[in-house]
Amino acid sequence: MTVERFDAGGWFDSPWSRRRLDLGASAEARSLVQEIVARVRQEGDSALFEYSRRFDGWAPGPGEPLELGRPEMEAAWDRLSPHRRAALELAQRRIEEFHSTQLGPEVSGLPGLKLITRPVDRVGLYIPGGRAAYPSSVLMTAVPARVAGVGEISLATPPAADGSVPIPVLAAAHLAGVDRIYRMGGAQAISALAYGTASVRPVDLIAGPGNLYVTLAKREVFGAVGIDGIAGPTEIMVVADAGARPDLIAADLASQMEHDPLAWAVLVTDSAGLIDAVDEALEDLTPRLERAEVVRGARCCLILAGSMDEAMRISNEFAPEHLEIIAADSDRLARLADNAGAIFLGPWAPVSLGDYVIGPNHTLPTAGAARFGSPLGVYTFMKRSSLASLTEGDFGMLAEAAATLAEMEGLGAHAGALRAREVDSKGGRPG
């Protein structure tokens, strides 16, 4: 594991502070994804199954379904131990309770105007496979979709070489109310969800985390469908003062580095002693981790700031996916956090707890997108429309200004449509 040390000025001058804004996609990777998306769109199942055999190691044989339905999910739930079921139920309940607060009433503003929201009809959720099974990601994506009122939820996940899907993923899908699971992964899955094939029903929006190829494919199909965002590798920033425990900080940094060798883990502090202690704690911890090799491949930075306020300025510039603040005045510092996907205050609210059961979503903006983006939520699965219902008096108050603006833009037919109503309104209602 390479641990880089910086002072505040050195950090801002370093390419490290900007390197993660590039997803690291080579021209070859982008070209391959474009080819996969185009072929699945044009050739349907034949291309989908070809790429599934190539990249997932499995594709359905003759008469074998790509899709798993609710009976298979229910059977997986029945096979799960009571202890594991209880953990999933606790997480599901807290996620649903938190996300239910995001359902707002239809908004009324000026007279005759209203902002109305409606759920997306069909959603496709992508759940990664490969290195690990992620039932938590099933809950974090499917539960908000259900709360939003989405009519049909499909889920795509890479199968094992025998075509199986991990029991915890199937069980979480049952609990969250997923309608079907497609055993497919990668860019081919994203294209199939976006455009449809004989075996895959097309969706209106695709959400959920994935690897580089999934991310590039989501970017490629955007416009044909909606997407939740473009995600990079996971990242954590810890802002801590001299009173924070170095062993806990090291454990929290490692918890995100174990996801991906491209992950980012950053400590910012005004204490040189804490930096030394955390560096030492990481050296001691890493060899004892099950995923030590993944952790060693990740990027870790320790930054010495001149003050805790400067530490927060660094945090806002970095715009981390996860921000932990462990300091005596953490509440004050949190009010300075303008750019962060999710904020965790104090030693008892680690990111690892938030990944599963605190309640807020763990699908968050990465790679600096917290400067303008938000966590996945109920609103991800909602579309908004404005509704205008004006009286003749409202029209009379507004029409002259609108016609003048239309004439300023050279759009005479716009002005004419307004003037026609002005004439008609003197003798009766238009239409």
Residue ranges of domains in the chain, CATH in brackets: 2-23+232-358 (3.40.50.1980), 27-227 (3.40.50.1980), 391-427 (no CATH)
pTM of the full predicted structure?
A: 0.91
Query: What local confidence, expressed as pLDDT, does residue 131 receive?
Result: 60
- One DSSP character per residue, 218-230 reads HHHHBTTBEES--
**Which three-class secondary structure state does DSSP give residue 240?**
strand
CB 313 within 8 A of CB 213: no
pLDDT at 63: 87
**pLDDT at res. 233:** 87
Per-residue pLDDT reduced to its tens digit, 49-108: 999 999 999 999 998 999 999 999 999 999 999 999 999 999 999 999 999 999 877 766
pLDDT, position 307: 97
Q: Across the strands, what pairs with 303?
A: 6, 268
pLDDT score for 424: 58
Residue 337 amino acid letter: A
pLDDT the model gives residue 425: 54
Predicted pLDDT at 252: 97
The C-alpha atoms of residue 103 and residue 407 are separated, in whole angstroms, by: 41
User: In sequence order, what are the beta bridge partners of 421?
Assistant: none
- The pLDDT score that the predictor gives to residue 15 is 66
Residue 25 is predicted with a pLDDT of 73
Residues labelled catalytic: 321-322
Cite the DSSP H helix spans in 330-409.
330-334, 351-354, 392-408
Distance CA 123, CA 106 (A): 23
What per-residue confidence (pLDDT) applies to 24? 63
Ordered strands of the 382-388 beta sheet: 107-108, 113-119, 382-388
Give the residue ranges of the chain where pLDDT is below 70. Answer: 1, 15-24, 107-108, 130-131, 423-431
- The DSSP code sequence of 66-115 is SEE-HHHHHHHHHHS-HHHHHHHHHHHHHHHHHHHTT-PPPEE-STTEEE
